[in-house]
């Protein structure tokens, strides 16, 4: 369940980045739109990093539990 939720969030953040990149690639975009797009990219990137760290921790936790179960 956690994996599915993480994948959904990652997909959402990737879409935010792609939308922001489209604005940044538009030469006629207003400066406030460019500023917002840059902010969106930075925010989505930070969220993806946090999500990645959470999933790595969850994987390590599961691996530790599996090792403990094998010892029992």
2-47, pLDDT tens digit by residue?
A: 788 889 999 999 999 999 999 999 999 999 999 999 999 999 999 9
Chain centre distance of CA 28: 28
At residue 17, the pLDDT reads 95
Distances (CA, A) of 59 to 10, 48, 54, 64: 17, 16, 9, 9
Domain ranges of the chain: 2-71
The neighbour count for residue 46, using CB atoms within 10 Å, is 11
At residue 68, the pLDDT reads 86
How far apart are alpha carbons 62 and 44 in whole angstroms? 27
At residue 70, the pLDDT reads 85
| pTM of this structure | 0.78
φ, ψ at 29 (rounded to 5°): -70, 140
Confidence of residue 62 (pLDDT cuts 50, 70, 90): confident
């Amino acid at each position: 369940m956690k994996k599915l939720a993480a994948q959904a969030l990652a997909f959402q953040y990737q879409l935010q980045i792609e939308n922001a990149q489209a604005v940044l690639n538009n030469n006629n975009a207003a400066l406030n739109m460019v500023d917002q797009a840059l902010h969106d990219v930075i925010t989505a990137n930070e969220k993806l990093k946090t999500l990645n760290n959470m999933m790595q921790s969850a994987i390590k936790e599961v691996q530790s539990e599996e090792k403990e179960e094998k010892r029992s």
